[in-house]
C-alpha cells in the first residue's frame, strides 16, 4: 500500500529518489504529490522568454531559430551556438565538446523542444549554457505523452533533475498511490465551499484533462494551505493570553506628558490617531504586535508675518492651520498637512532688483531661472562668492511679495496675474484660457483680470474650471506676449541679515514641494515610537529599540537624547524631576562602556535602551522589559526579534515594528493575520523630489561617464554624493575576456563590485581630485562614526559605502545616490537607499547602474523602481516579482515558499474566508482534538521547524 508517508526510494528506486532529495528536498510520496506544477504548457504555445530571471533554473518551451557549430578561439575544441525564440524574444544556448555535434543534428531550425538550465549572461545577452533539452515534435513512440498529454506540466526543477524528470516520477507514483484514507477538510466545509476531495485534486493538478480541472484542483489545494496557516495563527492568538503582556496605561504628569508639553510643533492627525491606537494597545494585557509604516517629513520655515498666497488671497504664515489651502508655484491649490512652530531663528531680507524685499530664513526655498529649487543659504553663499551682477533671476512673482487684490498696486497685481497665467494659461488668439482645479483660484484670476480693466469669464466644470481672460493692450497676459520663455526681469540683488524672529514651518501634500524644505524635524515614525516608549517608562518598565546597524543605532540614541533634553538625563546634574535615561549598546563598544551600559540595563536605570544585535545576546538582561521597538524590521530575522521579546521574564513584551518600505513577507504576514497595521502616509511629500534613472552600462557605456560628470557638477555646487556597492571586498576579479565562458561557470557575469576597489578607481579616475572615502560594516565603530561625522560636515564629498547607509542616515546636503550593480539589490533596498538623498532643499538624483539587458525580468524591476517613489506601490511590486517569501520559514524571498499554491496577490479572498473558519474552529476546539483531519493538515504542512517559526513571528 503506497501512502503519503511512503519513502520515495521504495517507489522510484535509489537513483531517482536521491535526485529528488538532493535537488528539491523531496523524500516522501506526499512531498512529491505536493510539489505542484508551476505552469502548464500546451503543444505549440511557447514560453515567454523575456520574463526569465538571471540565475534562476528555468524550463522553457521554444522553437529553434538557428544552430551553428564553430571552433573555440581561446582553447581547443568546438562549441555549438544556438538561438531559440518564443516568437518575440530570443534566448541564446551554448553547448561544448564533441557532444555538440549530436545536439546540432537534433536542434534543427523550426523544431520545438523543452530546454532546462540555469539562466546566465554572456556578452550582455541571456543564455543557457549546456542545457538539458527534450525535442517535442520528432517522437512517434508515445513517450512524450508520458509527461505531456494534452498539457505539459512544468515543475519547479533544479540542477541535475529537470521538469520532465519530475513529471516521470510523478507518473510512476500516481500509478501506485492508493489515495487518501480520510480527507483532512470536513465534508460540510467542502460542501459549503464547493471543494473537491483531496485525492481528485492531487490527481488533477498533476494530470489534468482541461483547464477547468486545473482551476478546481487549485482552489481545493489553496484551501488546504490557507486553513493550515490560519489554524496555526488562530491557535497562536488564543494562546497569547496564557502569557500576558505587561499593562502600561498612561500615567499623567510624568515623562510623556512633559515631553508632549515641550513639542515645538503640532502632531499630525495621522500621528495622533496612530498614537492613540498604540497607547490603547500598551494599556492592555494582550501583547501588541503592530506594524507602523511611514517616512519622515519636514517643513518650510518663514517668519510668522510672511504672506503666503492662498485661493482666498494672502495669509500670514503664522495664521495657517492644517487643512488650509495654499497656492504652489505651479499655480495649483494644495492642503497644508502639517504646521510646525520652530521658535526664534535668524531671518534675512532678500532685496530684489525692482526694489521689493522679502524676509525669510536661510532654509526658505526659491524657484530660480534654471528650473531648480534652491535654499536662500545657497543663493546667499553664491552672492558672497561673486562680486559681479547677480545671476539669480526669478521666473515668477513669489507669493509673499504682494498683497491681496484690493490693496496691491496695479503693477504688482499685473505681475501676479502674469505669474499665475504662466503656470496654467494658454494663448487662444487674443485671449488666454486659464485652467485650474480650484474654483477659488479661478475666481481669483478673474478678479485680478477685472481689477486691471479686463475681463475674466469663469466657466465652471466638474473637476476643472476655465477662465477666459482678456486684458487691455497695456497689460500683456505674459511677461513677453510673443515669447513666454523670455528671461524675467527681476533679480536677487543681495541678502541682508534682519535679526531673530519667530518662524514657522508648514508641509504640503503636493509634488511642487516649494513649501517644503530640508530642516529636519522628527515628526513621523520616530515620534510615534518615542511617545510609546515614554508611556512604558512612565509605567515603571523599560523599552528597547532595535536598529539594524550601529550607525543607525547611534543616530537614534543621539536623536532621542536631543529630543528629550533634561527629560533623558536621569541621575545627571540638571536632569528633570521625572527623567529617564537613554542607553546605547552596540557590539563594538569598548569594554568599560559596555559594562556600564549592561549595568544600567539590568538595574532598570536605563528606561530606553537602543542597540543593534548586541541586545539579543544572552549576556544582556533587562530589569523589566515592556516594549520592543524594531526599526526597519525587514533587516532582522524573526528569530532575532523573538530572542529579544523573550527577555521579559514571565510576560511577553509589546512589539512595535517600523518600516518605511514594507517588504513581501511583511505584507503577507499582515494579510495572514500576524500583524496589525498602521500607516502614516500624509507626510512623505515633506521632502524634495527624487528622480531615478537606470544607467544601462552594457548598452550605453557613455551614460556611466555622464554619471561621473554629473557627480562633479553636484560637488561643484557644494553638494555630496553616495556611491553604494554590493560588497566590501579586498579586490575584484578581472572580467573574463574572449567569447567563451569561464570553465567553472556557465556565465561570464563578474563578481559584485566592491567598495574598496570602486573607491580606489574613482579616486584615481573619473573623480580624481574630489575627497573620496569609504564606509562599511567591518570598520571599527569609532572609524565609522568619524567617517559619518566628516560626511555630515562636508569634509567628504563622495562616500563609497555598502548598504550600511541604507536606513537612518540623514545628510541633507547629499543630492546624488549612485547604486552600482543595482540589479543585485531588492526593490525595498533600492527604495531605502535612494531615500538617503532628496532630504534637503535641492532635488535628489538616484542612478541605478546595471549591466542587465533590456527585456529581462531584472531590468523590468529596475524600470519599475525608476517609475515610482511610492513605497507602498513598490511593496506591491516586490510582492508580485518575488512572491510572499517563505511565510512558514525564515526565508525572506519567495524562492522557497512553504506555501506552494496559495498566493497573497490572487487569493486574498480565500485567506479571509479561511481565517473566519479557522477562528470559529479554534474557539470551540483549541487543540483540534475533535478535528483530527485538520490537525493532520496543520502537522503535514507545518513541520516542527516552521511551526516553531510561526510561534515566534
pLDDT of residue 874: 74
The SS3 assignment for 181 reads coil
- Main-chain phi, psi angles of 90, to 5 degrees: -110, 155
**In this predicted structure, what is the pLDDT of residue 600?**
93
Specify the higher pLDDT residue, 122 or 354: 122
The total of other beta-carbon atoms located within 10 Å of residue 409's CB is: 10
Question: Which SS3 state, helix, strand or coil, does residue 508 take?
Answer: strand
Q: State the cell numbers at 857.
A: 525580468
**In the chain, % of residues over pLDDT 90:** 18
Q: What is the pLDDT of residue 732?
A: 38
267 φ, ψ to 5°? -70, 145
| 532: its cell numbers | 510609546
Is 90 exceeded by the pLDDT of residue 281?
yes
The closest of 195, 284, 196, 182 to 240, measured between CA atoms, is 284
Mapped onto helix, strand or coil, the DSSP state of residue 133 is strand
pLDDT interval class at 224 (50, 70, 90) = very high
pLDDT, tens only, 39-67: 887 766 777 887 777 777 788 888 899 98
Q: Where are the beta strands (DSSP E) in 29-111?
A: 39-42, 57-71, 78-85, 90-96
The per-residue DSSP string of 610-669 comes to EESGGGGSTT---SSEEEEEEESGGGS-HHHHHHHHTTSTTS--EEEEEESS--HHHHHH
C-alpha cell at 419: 505669474
From residue 402, give the alpha-carbon distance in Å to each of 374, 407, 416, 438, 673.
21, 9, 8, 21, 55
887, 226 contact by CB (below 8 A): no
Cell numbers 573620496 label which residue? 772
Give Cβ neighbours of residue 858 (< 8 Å, ≥ 6 apart): 53, 54, 823, 850, 852
Mapping DSSP to helix (H, G, I), strand (E, B) and coil, where does residue 218 land? helix
Q: Nine-digit cell at 468?
A: 477666459
Question: How would you classify the pairing of strands 676-680 and 298-303?
Answer: unpaired
Helix (H) or strand (E) holding 290: strand 289-294
Per residue in 803-842, pLDDT (tens digit) is 887 655 667 788 899 999 998 888 878 887 887 887 666 7
Q: Euclidean distance between the first and final Cα of the chain, in Å?
A: 39
In 572-700, which residue ranges form alpha helices assigned H by DSSP? 591-603, 638-645, 664-671
Burial of 716 (0-12, 13-18, 19+ CB in 10 A): exposed
Fill in the DSSP letter of residue 38: S
**Which of 139-143, 152-156, 620-624, 777-781 has the lowest average pLDDT?**
139-143
Residue 462 contacts residue 410 (beta carbons within 8 Å) = no
Characterize 364-381 residue by residue with b for buried, 16 or more Cβ atoms within 10 angstroms of its Cβ, and e for exposed: bbbbbeeeebbbbbbbbe
Query: Which three cell numbers, joined as nine digits, stand for 317?
Result: 504664515
Q: Please state which of the ranges 213-227, 343-357, 611-625, 737-751 shows the lowest mean pLDDT.
A: 737-751
- If DSSP states are collapsed to H, E and C, what string results for 864-909? HHHHCCCHHHHHHHHHHHHCCCCCCCCCCCCCCCCCCCCCCCCCHH
The percent of residues above 70 in pLDDT, for the chain, comes to 72
Residue 593 has which C-alpha cell? 562602556
Rounded distance, CA 290 to CA 657, Å?
Answer: 6
pLDDT score, position 190? 92
Angle at 94 between CA 90 and CA 98, to 5 degrees: 150
> C-alpha angle 77/82/88, rounded to 5°?
160
Amino acid 473: pLDDT: 80
CA distance 547 to 555: 10
Q: How far is residue 720's CA from residue 715's CA, in Å, rounded to a whole number?
A: 6
- Specify the higher pLDDT residue, 516 or 876: 876
Cα–Cα distance between 237 and 947 in angstroms, integer?
Answer: 14
Name the nearest CA neighbour of 753 among 701, 696, 822, 703: 822
Q: What average pLDDT does this structure show over 545-571?
A: 83
Q: How far apart are CA 845 and CA 722, in angstroms?
A: 10
Residue 550: is its pLDDT beyond 70? yes
Asked if residue 396 has pLDDT above 60, the reply is: no
C-alpha cell of residue 53:
530571471
- Who wins on pLDDT, 323 or 821? 821
> What would the pLDDT profile of 572-608 be if each residue is shown by its tens digit?
877 888 899 999 998 888 889 999 999 999 999 999 9
How high is the pLDDT of residue 898? 63
Q: Which of these, 447, 443, 422, 444, lies nearest to 432 by C-alpha position?
A: 422
pLDDT confidence of 185, banded at 50, 70, 90?
A: very high
- Tell me, what's the pLDDT at 613? 75
**pLDDT confidence of residue 886:** 55
Query: Which grid cell sits at 771?
Result: 575627497
pLDDT of the residue at 459:
87
User: Is residue 190 a contact partner of residue 223, using CB atoms and an 8 Å limit?
Assistant: no
Q: Is 950 helix (H, G, I), strand (E, B) or coil?
A: helix
85 vs 62: CA distance, rounded Å? 6
Q: What is the pLDDT of residues 704-744, one digit of tens each?
A: 988 999 999 999 988 999 999 988 875 433 233 333 333 33
Report the alpha-carbon distance of residue 904 to residue 669 in Å, rounded: 9
Least confident among 357-361, 746-750, 851-855: 746-750
For the record, the C-alpha cell of 342 comes out as 520652530
Question: Are 687 and 838 a contacting pair, CB within 8 Å?
Answer: yes
Distance (Å, whole) CA 27 – CA 39? 23
| Mean pLDDT of the residues in the chain | 77
Helices (H), 300-362: none
Region 275-287 average pLDDT: 91
Phi, psi of 906 (to 5 degrees): -100, -20
Calpha distance 824→807 (Å, rounded): 18
Q: What is the CA radius of gyration of the chain?
A: 33
Q: Are 655 and 289 in contact (CB under 8 A)?
A: yes
Find the farthest-apart pair of alpha carbons in the chain and give their distance in angstroms, rounded. 100
Q: What is the DSSP letter of 169?
A: H
Q: In this predicted structure, which of 195-199, 558-562, 806-810, 854-858 has the lowest mean pLDDT?
A: 806-810
Strand positions, DSSP E, 333-462: 333-352, 357-360, 365-367, 373-375, 425-428, 431-436, 455-459
Distance separating alpha carbons of residues 362 and 384, to the nearest angstrom: 14
Average pLDDT over residues 401-416: 60
How large is the average pLDDT for residues 910-923?
Answer: 89
Does residue 872 or residue 547 have the better pLDDT?
547
Residues 206-221 have a mean pLDDT of 90
Taking alpha carbons only, the member of 227, 242, 289 closest to residue 942 is 227
Residues 194, 309: Cα–Cα separation, whole Å: 62
Over 50: is that where the pLDDT of 875 sits? yes
Cα–Cα distance measured from residue 297 to residue 295, given in angstroms and rounded to the nearest whole number: 7
Q: Which three cell numbers stand for residue 72?
A: 573555440
Measure the CA–CA gap between 668 and 690, rounded to whole angstroms: 28
Strand, coil or helix: what is 374?
strand
Amino acid at each position: 500500500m503506497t501512502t503519503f508517508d511512503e519513502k520515495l526510494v521504495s517507489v522510484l528506486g535509489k537513483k531517482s529518489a536521491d535526485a529528488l532529495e538532493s535537488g528539491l528536498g523531496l523524500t516522501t510520496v506526499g512531498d512529491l504529490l505536493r510539489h505542484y506544477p508551476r505552469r502548464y504548457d500546451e503543444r505549440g504555445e511557447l514560453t515567454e522568454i523575456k520574463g526569465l530571471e538571471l540565475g534562476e533554473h528555468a524550463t522553457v518551451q521554444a522553437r529553434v531559430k538557428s544552430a551553428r557549430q564553430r571552433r573555440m578561439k581561446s582553447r581547443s575544441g568546438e562549441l555549438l551556438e544556438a538561438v531559440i525564440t518564443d516568437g518575440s524574444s530570443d534566448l541564446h544556448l551554448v553547448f561544448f565538446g564533441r557532444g555538440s555535434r549530436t545536439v546540432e543534428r537534433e536542434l534543427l531550425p523550426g523544431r520545438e523542444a523543452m530546454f532546462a538550465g540555469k539562466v546566465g549572461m554572456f556578452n550582455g545577452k541571456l543564455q543557457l549554457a549546456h542545457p538539458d533539452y527534450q525535442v517535442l515534435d520528432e517522437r512517434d513512440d508515445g513517450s512524450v505523452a508520458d509527461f505531456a498529454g494534452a498539457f505539459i506540466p512544468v515543475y519547479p526543477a533544479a540542477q541535475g533533475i529537470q521538469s520532465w524528470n519530475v513529471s516521470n516520477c510523478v507518473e510512476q507514483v500516481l500509478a501506485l498511490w492508493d489515495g487518501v484514507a480520510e480527507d483532512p477538510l470536513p465534508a460540510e466545509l467542502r460542501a459549503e465551499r464547493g471543494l473537491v476531495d483531496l485525492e481528485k485534486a492531487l490527481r488533477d493538478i498533476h494530470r489534468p484533462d482541461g483547464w477547468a480541472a486545473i482551476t478546481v484542483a487549485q482552489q481545493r489545494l489553496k484551501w488546504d494551505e490557507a486553513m493550515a496557516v490560519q489554524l496555526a495563527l488562530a491557535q497562536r492568538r488564543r494562546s497569547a493570553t496564557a502569557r500576558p503582556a505587561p499593562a502600561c496605561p498612561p500615567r499623567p504628569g510624568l515623562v510623556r506628558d512633559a515631553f508632549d508639553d515641550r513639542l515645538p510643533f503640532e502632531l499630525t492627525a495621522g500621528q495622533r490617531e496612530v498614537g492613540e491606537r498604540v497607547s490603547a494597545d500598551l494599556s492592555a494585557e494582550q501583547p501588541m504586535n503592530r506594524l507602523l509604516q511611514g517616512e519622515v517629513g519636514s517643513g518650510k520655515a518663514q517668519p510668522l508675518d510672511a504672506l503666503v498666497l492662498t485661493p482666498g488671497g494672502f495669509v500670514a504664515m503664522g495664521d495657517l492651520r492644517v487643512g488650509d489651502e495654499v497656492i504652489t508655484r505651479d499655480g495649483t491649490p494644495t492642503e497644508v498637512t502639517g504646521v510646525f512652530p520652530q521658535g526664534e531663528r535668524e531671518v534675512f531680507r532678500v532685496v530684489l532688483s525692482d526694489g521689493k524685499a522679502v524676509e525669510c530664513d536661510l532654509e526658505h526655498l526659491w524657484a530660480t531661472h534654471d528650473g531648480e529649487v534652491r535654499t536662500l543659504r545657497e543663493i546667499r553663499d553664491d552672492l558672497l562668492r561673486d562680486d559681479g551682477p547677480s545671476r539669480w533671476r526669478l521666473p515668477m512673482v513669489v507669493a509673499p511679495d504682494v498683497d491681496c487684490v484690493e490693496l496691491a498696486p496695479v503693477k504688482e497685481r499685473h505681475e501676479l496675474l502674469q505669474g499665475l497665467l504662466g503656470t496654467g494659461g494658454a494663448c487662444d488668439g487674443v485671449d488666454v484660457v486659464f485652467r485650474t482645479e480650484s474654483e477659488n483660484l479661478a475666481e481669483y484670476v478673474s478678479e485680478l483680470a477685472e481689477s486691471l480693466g479686463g475681463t475674466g469669464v469663469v466657466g465652471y466644470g466638474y473637476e476643472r474650471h476655465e477662465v477666459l481672460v482678456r486684458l487691455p493692450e497695456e497689460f500683456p497676459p505674459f511677461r513677453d506676449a510673443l515669447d513666454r520663455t523670455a528671461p524675467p526681469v527681476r533679480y536677487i540683488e543681495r541678502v541682508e541679515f534682519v535679526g531673530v524672529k519667530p518662524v514657522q514651518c508648514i508641509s504640503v501634500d503636493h509634488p511642487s514641494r516649494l513649501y517644503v524644505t530640508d530642516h529636519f524635524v522628527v515628526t513621523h515614525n520616530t515620534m510615534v515610537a518615542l511617545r510609546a516608549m515614554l508611556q512604558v517608562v512612565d509605567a515603571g518598565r523599560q523599552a528597547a529599540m532595535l536598529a539594524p546597524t550601529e550607525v543607525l543605532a547611534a543616530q537614534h540614541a543621539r536623536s532621542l537624547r536631543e529630543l528629550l533634553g533634561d527629560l533623558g538625563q536621569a541621575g545627571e546634574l540638571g536632569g528633570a524631576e521625572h527623567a529617564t535615561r537613554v542607553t546605547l549598546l552596540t557590539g563594538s563598544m569598548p569594554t568599560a562602556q559596555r559594562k556600564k551600559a549592561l549595568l544600567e540595563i539590568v538595574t532598570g536605570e536605563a528606561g530606553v535602551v537602543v542597540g543593534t544585535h548586541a541586545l539579543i545576546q544572552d549576556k544582556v538582561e533587562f530589569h523589566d522589559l515592556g516594549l520592543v521597538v524594531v526599526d526597519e524590521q525587514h533587516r532582522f530575522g524573526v528569530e532575532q526579534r523573538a530572542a529579544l521579546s523573550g527577555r521579559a521574564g514571565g510576560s511577553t513584551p509589546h512589539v512595535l515594528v517600523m518600516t518605511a518600505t514594507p517588504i513581501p513577507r511583511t505584507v503577507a504576514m499582515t494579510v495572514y493575520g500576524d500583524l496589525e497595521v498602521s500607516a502614516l502616509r500624509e507626510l512623505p511629500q515633506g521632502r524634495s523630489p527624487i528622480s531615478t534613472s537606470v544607467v544601462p552600462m552594457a548598452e550605453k557605456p557613455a551614460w556611466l561617464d555622464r554619471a561621473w560628470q554629473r557627480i562633479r557638477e553636484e560637488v561643484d555646487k557644494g553638494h555630496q554624493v553616495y556611491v553604494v556597492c554590493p560588497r566590501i571586498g579586498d579586490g575584484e576579479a578581472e572580467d573574463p575576456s574572449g567569447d567563451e565562458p569561464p570553465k567553472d561557470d556557465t556565465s561570464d557575469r563578474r563578481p559584485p563590485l566592491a567598495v574598496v576597489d570602486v573607491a580606489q578607481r574613482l579616486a584615481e579616475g573619473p573623480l580624481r581630485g574630489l575627497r573620496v572615502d569609504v564606509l562599511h560594516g567591518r570598520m571599527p565603530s569609532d572609524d565609522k562614526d568619524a567617517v559619518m561625522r566628516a560626511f555630515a560636515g562636508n569634509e567628504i564629498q563622495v562616500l563609497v559605502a555598502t548598504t550600511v547607509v541604507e536606513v537612518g542616515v540623514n545628510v541633507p546636503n547629499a543630492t546624488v545616490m549612485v547604486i552600482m550593480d543595482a540589479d543585485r539589490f531588492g526593490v525595498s533596498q533600492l527604495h531605502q537607499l535612494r531615500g538617503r538623498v532628496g532630504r534637503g532643499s535641492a532635488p535628489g538624483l538616484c542612478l541605478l547602474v546595471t549591466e542587465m539587458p533590456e527585456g529581462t525580468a531584472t531590468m523590468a524591476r529596475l524600470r519599475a523602481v525608476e517609475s515610482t517613489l511610492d513605497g507602498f506601490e513598490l511593496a506591491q511590486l516586490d510582492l508580485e516579482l518575488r512572491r510572499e517569501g517563505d511565510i512558514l520559514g525564515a526565508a525572506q524571498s519567495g524562492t522557497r515558499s512553504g506555501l506552494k499554491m496559495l498566493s497573497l496577490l490572487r487569493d486574498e479572498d480565500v485567506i479571509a474566508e479561511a481565517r473566519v473558519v479557522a477562528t470559529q474552529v479554534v474557539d470551540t476546539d483549541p487543540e483540534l482534538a475533535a478535528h483530527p483531519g485538520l490537525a493532520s493538515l496543520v502537522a503535514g504542512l507545518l513541520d516542527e521547524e516552521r511551526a516553531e517559526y510561526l510561534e515566534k513571528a
